[in-house]
Amino acid sequence: MPSHYFKIVAPEALRQFIYRNDPDFNSIWDMLVTPEGQVFVAICAELSVSRSAKFCEFLPTTGEFVERFDVGQVTMAFPRSMPQSKIHTSMSVMSDGRIIMSTHTTAASQGHPSWLVDAYYNHAWEGYQGSHILIYDPRTHEVENLGIPVPRDTIYGGAYDAIRQRFYFTTLMRGMVYVLDLQTREVTELGQATEFGTFRILRAGDGHFYLGSRSGRLTRINLDRVCLEDTGVDLPYDSDDRYERTQRVITYGATGPDGALYFTACYLKNLFRYDPRTGTLTTIGEFTPPSLGRWDYPRIVQGMAFDEQGTLWYTVTTSAQSDHLGTHLVSWNLAQPAPVNHGLLGTSDRVAIFMSEMHLHREMLYLADTNHGNDGPAMVTVDLARLRGALVEASPENRDPKIYIRFDDYKERFPDPAFLDRARQYETAVRQYMDSVEIVSRNPFDVRAKIYRTIYLWRQLPMEESQVRLLWWSDAETLCGVSGDRQLWHWTVRRGEWQGAVPFTGALAEFTARYQHGALRERRVQGAPFHCGRQYLSRITAAAPWTGDSYLVGTEDSMVGRVDGATGRCYSLGGLDTHGPVRGIVTDRARALAYGISGDPMDVGRLFAYHDTWGLRTIGRFFHFAYDENGDGFAASNRLSALALSPDDRTLAVGSEDRLACVYLLEDVETFQFQSHLGPI
């Protein structure tokens, strides 16, 4: 590394204030500076720490963190449920001076080994009840809880439209965008904008909001029409790096003096400029200053703001899983060819590992220093007037063990016992984090298969007309489908490759009856399974032939049964862990193995399987990093709508009716997921 890599920002320009009020809290995941200069932060807990967030006012003159309210008390968090552990990327000043925000969770329920939101989100007692929208008045310190706008999902980011009095927000698990009308309190779903959580909503010079998907697609939230609009813009990547392909989500940005939107995306190396007037995307160049050198670890920009001279300020951190090498403060006069490094953000004893937010107010940068191991978070201020002209080479070198433990020789370089003791604490924190990752990985929630291909219908068809209505195989290598709403499309995929689409001219009802066993669904069934008290939901919604003259059925309430074809009597096979209907069932040629899909339109749909030997089992949701198959990134679906098994039983096709509709082609599906306490089944 360059010799000055570990130099800190000029000490005369920087002040650091560490939160030490409560050792359970290690992070700040939202921060706001009001037009009057008041600073508010969300002090948060994470992973195995089951605590709700604290909303604090930070006083820059004294360095105090004054608690204004406890999120757990305001939301009356149920003790066994996942706590409201964060306020996340949503604080906005309203037109009347109050502050609107939304809660979020990344912390475990009491007694859970880690944050297991996928596995527990719909658990009545130990799951996540949903995020709350809160409004705080800085003048009176009163806080109003507007309630939970969307149950059983967690809000990841939000933005306020002052002209129309609306609050837009995104959800983590399902990647949806919603809008809350603050005058009528009506919540409207706008659709899926990302495969999985996107937290940053940016306002461009045209007055509209913009956000990005995990796969790098830029979406406009039209504030006049209150709808999502596909810009058709994909963020480019230029390497085979898995992070670049799967995690191209917009992270930070700012509107420039020219009205264009300047932003970066997770793990991409370039700064981008989007002009909303022309709809064009331009790559400005690499955001890492040349003086910091080059190496293989992905780098991420955190925070972004233009000063009065039109210079762009931001931070750059280097992260490879749990290894962090510190965060540098950077500026870029875009009239110049390259950005400038101003040093590591922090003091000689502690530098920032991760910056969650940055705001510029009257020549003062306010930065939220978060996740420095298990230490408390910190606020950092940088006086730009004092920083300008300072030479980073003249600054002291950092001695924070947190960023040196990545290097094999740190013990020889820093033999001081006090340094080594602190280093061991950070190594323990890394192991704790990796243990949490291991718990999640050993309790998978997603569908696994030996071969797993994704067809991105939303890229091949008009996005709003890509939803899958029906799937069938014309032969063992050719999958056919119908997609759309007002306009129906008939498309084909052969040997996993897209072949094209033409307008569908057939009768959809006839095709559906033929390929989804409509005649079986209409048969009279005696004793269809039900949940007690919900017998009225035992209506058959899916069916497929089984052994002999028997057949399998699914109900409107996620129950599955086997029906004797001669008598019509149903043997209950049990219930699934989804809510809503069974949406489809298919069986193999031997009538020995069945697959099905289920889920409420607002749920995370699941694939399930049945075999007479091992019974009924949930396989999981579709949440897939597809970089190793077709290089097109990330795919995840919520509303599973159709499935079909190839005539040779080799390939299972499953389609979705989300806004980002996909078809998944699976071979050798893993019907037995391993568990942490049993090992392989």
pLDDT in tens, 584-629: 999 999 999 999 999 999 999 999 999 999 999 999 999 987 655 4
**What is the domain-level CATH number for residue 490?**
2.120.10
Could you list the residue range(s) of the whole structural domain that residue 312 is in? 14-440
Q: In the structure, what pLDDT confidence band is assigned to residue 460 with cuts at 50, 70 and 90?
A: very high
Q: Residues 375, 432: one domain?
A: yes
**What pLDDT score does 678 carry?**
30
Q: What is the band of 240 on the pLDDT scale with cuts at 50, 70, 90? A: low
Specify if 677 maps to a domain: no
Structure tokens of 236? 């480019």
Task: For residue range 32-80, list pLDDT tens digits in order.
Answer: 999 999 999 999 999 889 999 999 999 999 999 999 999 999 999 899 9
What is the residue-wise DSSP string for 90-127? --EE-TTS-EEEEEE--BPPTT-SS--HHHHTT-TTTS
Mean residue pLDDT of the chain comes to 92
What's the pLDDT score for residue 607? 97
Q: Which residues contact 30 (CB under 8 A, 6 or more apart)?
A: 41, 42, 86, 87, 88, 89, 90, 91, 101, 356, 357, 368
φ, ψ for residue 274, nearest 5 deg:
-115, 125
Tokens 């604090």, residue located: 56
Do 455 and 435 have their domain in common?
Answer: no
Do 429 and 461 lie in one domain? The reply is no
Strand partners, 468: 483
CATH of the domain at 145: 2.130.10.10
Reported as half-sphere exposure (CB side, CA atoms, 13 A), residue 267 has a value of 23
How does DSSP assign 168-180, residue by residue? EEEETTT-EEEEE
In the chain, count of helices (H) and strands (E)?
A: 10, 47
Residues 368 and 498 in one domain: no
CA 450 to chain centre: 25
Residue 532: pLDDT above 80? yes
pLDDT of residue 679: 31
User: Which of 375, 406, 440 is the last residue in one of the domains?
Assistant: 440
Work out the percent of the chain whose per-residue pLDDT is above 70. 95
pLDDT at 24: 93
The answer as to whether 578 is a domain residue is yes
Mean pLDDT, residues 367-390 taken together: 94
pLDDT beyond 70 at 669: yes
Amino acid (one-letter) located at 657: E
- 169 shares a domain with 118: yes
Contact, 256 vs 298, CB < 8 A?
Answer: no
Give yes or no for a contact between 302 and 285, defined as CB atoms under 8 angstroms apart. Answer: no
- Is the CB of residue 297 less than 8 Å from the CB of residue 325? yes
Residue 390 confidence (pLDDT): 87
**Rounded distance between C-alpha atoms, residue 661 and residue 12, angstroms:** 53
Can you tell me the distance from the alpha carbon of 656 to that of 661, in angstroms, rounded to the nearest whole number? 5
pLDDT of 358 over the 70 cut:
yes
Question: Are 172 and 209 in a shared domain?
Answer: yes
pLDDT tens digits, one per residue of 152-179? 999 999 999 999 999 999 999 999 999 9
Distance, CA of 468 to CA of 542 (rounded, Å)? 17
* Predicted local confidence at residue 367, as pLDDT: 98
Has residue 7 been placed in a domain? no
Overall pTM > 0.85: yes
- Of the two residues 352 and 319, the one the predictor is more confident about is 352
pLDDT, position 437: 83
Q: Are residues 23 and 167 in the same domain?
A: yes
In a domain, residue 674? The reply is: no
Confidence band for 401, pLDDT divided at 50, 70 and 90: confident
User: Residue 326: which region, alpha, beta or left (left: phi > 0; alpha: psi -120 to 50)?
Assistant: left
Q: Is the pLDDT of residue 362 over 90?
A: yes
| Cα 214 to Cα 337, 447, 509, 549, 558, distances in angstroms | 29, 19, 35, 46, 30
Q: What residues have CB less than 8 Å from 96, skipping those under 6 apart?
A: none
Based on the domain organization, do 464 and 572 belong to the same domain? Answer: yes
Q: How far apart are CA 453 and CA 437, in angstroms?
A: 25
Radius of gyration of the chain (CA): 27
Evaluate whether residue 3 is within a structural domain: no
Domain membership flag for residue 324: yes
Q: Are residues 599 and 506 in the same domain?
A: yes
| Cβ pair 582, 558 in contact under 8 A | yes
Least confident residue range of 375-379, 492-496, 630-634: 630-634
Is the domain of 212 the same as that of 89? yes
Q: Which residues lie closer than 8 Å to 657 by C-beta, 6 or more apart?
A: 467, 468, 469, 639, 640, 641
Query: How far apart are the C-alpha atoms of 170 and 131, rounded to whole Å?
Result: 11
Residue 574 placed within a domain: yes
Residue 115 lies in a domain: yes
Q: Which of 414, 440, 466 is the last residue of a domain?
A: 440
181 in the same domain as 98? yes
As for how many domains the chain has, the answer is: 2
Residues 138 and 253 in one domain: yes
Q: What percent of the chain has pLDDT over 90?
A: 76
Q: Which of 440, 460, 482 is the last residue of a domain?
A: 440
- Dig out the tokens for 175 from the structure: 């990647």
243-252, 460-469, 518-527, 634-643: range with lowest mean pLDDT:
243-252
